[in-house]
A and B are shown apart, each in its own frame.
Chain A
Amino acid sequence: MDDIKVFFDEMSGANETVREPYQVYRQWMDGENPTRLKKKTAESEAFFRRTGITFNVYGQDEAAERLIPFDVIPRIISEREWSRLSRGIEQRVRAINAFLHDLYHRQEIIRAGRIPAELIAQNDAFLPQMIGVSPPGNVYTHIVGTDIVRTGENEFFVLEDNARTPSGVSYMLENRETMLHMFPELFAKVKVQPVSDYPTNLRRSLGACAPKTCTGRPVVAVLTPGIHNSAYFEHSFLADQMGAELVEGHDLRVVDGRVAMRTTMGFEAIDVLYRRVDDEYLDPLNFNPSSMLGVPGIMDVYRAGGITIANAPGTGIADDKAIYSYIPEIVEFYTGEKAILKNVPTWRCAEADSLAYVLDHLSELVVKEVHGSGGYGMLVGPAASKRELATFASKLRAKPKNYIAQPTLSLSTVPILTKKGLAPRHVDLRPFVLVSPDKINITPGGLTRVALKEGSLVVNSSQGGGTKDTWVLEE
């Protein structure tokens, strides 16, 4: 990696001027005392800690609860950029839902020869228990977090679709709250589209997917694995903001064909369960029998139409990294349109030619496990040592099907505030999408994750990433 890459900086652009969306902000910032900004950074940390906005890192007892570092410089997107992004996301999410319905019903896409049958049949994320099941409104992915990266003025790529249980939305909301609290005057100068109605929209969207058996106001509950889960804060935050109960598996039981929660007055049936527990642990009678996190028999109630599970079991097949490379075809197949948002070019190591290419170019590529997440188990070629490359190559040869490879993208940068002043750092973006039978709602902006280490491309919070408030301007 001796060649100097030029990265697109979202604030200064290619030629060291200030790009249009950042102009008013930059003007404000240049008039600010840098010491005050640094003081605000410290304040924001105290604020996050007091509020308990923390996440747990697995395998680290000492620092069991950590803060995700927050950077006070916002990431700013113009309304024009956003409208293109949101159209692209909506198209993709519609296609994914149609794809899931098809996969669990007639499998037209496989019959049409657009994706290979074995990709589905041999995939653990495909749940045979879902075959023939139609969730209310045919919504499979009620909540999606589409990961997007940018490499240039008009170059956006979708990195991952996160159709199972995307997390991070609580940070989007709290980041904005923090900014409003710290810099109220700034929001008077710059008109930013609000994000605070997300919990209301989530509740409405989930309610709209209630099963037919529900006649009154739908009872919504959030299912969490418990306080030791890395995203527990988010689970309780969302339940709280929606006015829903936060339940664990042991609070629930199947009673008279419904899933009911144990209350101080007896059992009360639930209509919609927003679960933050993986498929595998959802129902010990139908999936992993040793699971303590799920509800025995919930799948039977689900199949009988007695409860809505969001996201639907088996949605994981759609954000599987092996499926990812087929998404452009999937979009075309179900919408009849070309995909608005591009995919990152992807080599499927399961294919012999691709595997050979990947092995030859390992030091230039990012190799990911097909089923991995959170940045674990991946190889960043340009940053790896010779020994790491060799070890990874043998893993690849042993189980090529488990991997895909992508070029290292020149992710755009946005400045962060460091001790020495502003410094560019790589970012990605996770907008949050809500799907109900009649409507797709995308909150303007989303969560910007930022790699805090200079030069680093890994933005995951478990690997030293931070977050920024994300502004979509009102024009």
Chain B
Amino acid sequence: MLGKTAGGLFWMFRNLERSENTARLLEAGFRMALTRSSAAEDEWASVVSAAGSQKQYAECYDQYDAANVIDFLLRDRTNPASVISVVENARNNARVVRTALTREVWEATNECWITLKDLLSKPINERDLPDTLGTVRQQSSLVRGALHGTMLRNDIYDFARLGTFLERADNTSRILDVKYYVLLPSASFVGSSLDNVQWESILRSVSAQRAYRWLNPGDINPAWIADFLIRDKRLPRSLAFCYAKIVDNLNSLENDYGLHHPCHDHATETYRQLKDTSIDNIFDSGLHEFIIDFIRSNTQLGMQIEQDYRFYG
């Protein structure tokens, strides 16, 4: 496979994953802003931070209000992380790697782009936001479904999945980075209704509120939430889950090509740490530090993969 093709697949699926994550963040933020209108501005600010677009946003707007944030994260083409930008990137990636995709995957991606381009051509009214976000998530799911249903399980699939899970791990860790303080045992309003809302919002932004309830009926505990998002291998958006998948896909590339690279060691080591460090240890040595380290290491892994598989020459 061409290095460029591997890179195209990797970024195509990073971009698609990101569109879905941004939609989920907006959904959680929107709900928070509705229920806590007094702190709405803070909520929108943390949505923008978790989307990794703080700097860009500050260059365009002074205030964090619903209309601006929604517009900026969904349909602003000057924002490289907006849904329309990443979907357009994903589709351009798909055009580059079209020879590696099944007809179903290509058409789902093209359809995703056509649908969202049309949907996001006009400003989104708050009233229409839930439907719009639903469509964004649905379109990205359709591509994933086509990938699952029709693609060979070979190196093409591995690079696509690596993109998905690297992006997802990045996203979950950024949510933790922005909201880590409400999970700290020392937070001042322990057990207050404010905390409950915050905790639920975190769970919601990784689509885990129901899963958490199934596992912990009636109880909501910040340390458990942190453990759930960082270490629980059953939760498809947890860091441990993402890294289990990343290690799997890298191993299958190693078997396929018969080549061992630095990225293999890097991923295995990160996965080992996630598995072996208890949540108490993480809190003891500092949740925030842990998250910052993770984000840095995750970014490095991405660059290592690019280099090891010759994405760019």
**Chain A interface residues toward B at CB < 8 A:** 49-52, 227, 232, 236, 239-240, 244-248, 250-251, 261-266
Residue from the list A49, A50, A51, A261 in contact with B2, Cβ < 8 A:
A261
Chain B residues closer than 8 Å to A240, beta-carbon distance: 98-99
* B166 shortest CB reach to chain A, Å: 16
Given contacts A52-B98, A227-B92, 8 further A-B contacts (CB under 8 A): A239-B99, A240-B98, A245-B99, A250-B313, A261-B2, A263-B2, A264-B155, A264-B257
Residue from the list A49, A236, A248, A264 in contact with B310, Cβ < 8 A:
A264
A163 to B88, CA, bound (A): 36
Chain B contact-residue range equals 20 to 34
A251 to B6, CA, bound (A): 12
Given contacts A251-B4, A264-B1, contact A50 B111 (CB under 8 A): yes
Q: Are A232 and B95 in contact (CB under 8 A)?
A: yes
Chain B residues closer than 8 Å to A264, beta-carbon distance: 1-3, 6, 155, 253, 257, 309-310
Name the interface residues of B88-126: CB closer than 8 Å to any CB of A. Answer: 92, 95-96, 98-99, 103, 106-107, 110-111, 114
Q: Are B98 and A262 in contact (CB under 8 A)?
A: no
Q: Are B1 and A52 in contact (CB under 8 A)?
A: no
A244 to B1, CA, bound (A): 10
A250 to B3, CA, bound (A): 11
B257 to A, closest residue via Cβ: A265
Chain B residues closer than 8 Å to A245, beta-carbon distance: 2, 5, 99
A245 to B8, CA, bound (A): 14
Chain A residues closer than 8 Å to B106, beta-carbon distance: 52
A265 to B155, CA, bound (A): 11
A247 to B99, CA, bound (A): 11
Q: Are B2 and A262 in contact (CB under 8 A)?
A: yes
Q: Mark B1-17, 1 if CB is under 8 A from A, else 0.
A: 11111100000000000
A253 to B, closest residue via Cβ: B313
Q: Are B95 and A52 in contact (CB under 8 A)?
A: yes
Given contacts A50-B111, A52-B106, contact A227 B95 (CB under 8 A): yes
B101 to A, closest residue via Cβ: A240
A contacts with B: majority SS = mixed
Chain B residues closer than 8 Å to A248, beta-carbon distance: 4
B308 to A, closest residue via Cβ: A264
A245 to B3, CA, bound (A): 11
Q: Are B95 and A236 in contact (CB under 8 A)?
A: yes
Given contacts A52-B106, A264-B257, contact A247 B114 (CB under 8 A): no
A281 to B111, CA, bound (A): 34
Q: Are B3 and A262 in contact (CB under 8 A)?
A: yes
Chain A residues closer than 8 Å to B99, beta-carbon distance: 236, 239-240, 244-246
Can you list 14 A-B pairs, Cβ within 8 angstroms, ordered by A? A50-B111, A52-B95, A227-B95, A232-B95, A240-B99, A244-B99, A245-B5, A248-B4, A250-B313, A262-B310, A263-B1, A263-B2, A264-B257, A266-B310
* B10 shortest CB reach to chain A, Å: 11
A263 to B1, CA, bound (A): 5
Q: Are A50 and B107 in contact (CB under 8 A)?
A: yes
Q: Are A251 and B92 in contact (CB under 8 A)?
A: no
Chain A residues closer than 8 Å to B215, beta-carbon distance: none
* B119 shortest CB reach to chain A, Å: 16
Query: B259 at the A/B interface (Cβ < 8 Å)?
Result: yes
B114 to A, closest residue via Cβ: A49
A250 to B6, CA, bound (A): 14
A239 to B95, CA, bound (A): 12
A252 to B, closest residue via Cβ: B2
A46 to B131, CA, bound (A): 24
Chain B residues closer than 8 Å to A239, beta-carbon distance: 99
Q: Are A262 and B95 in contact (CB under 8 A)?
A: no
Chain A residues closer than 8 Å to B92, beta-carbon distance: 227
Chain A residues closer than 8 Å to B103, beta-carbon distance: 51
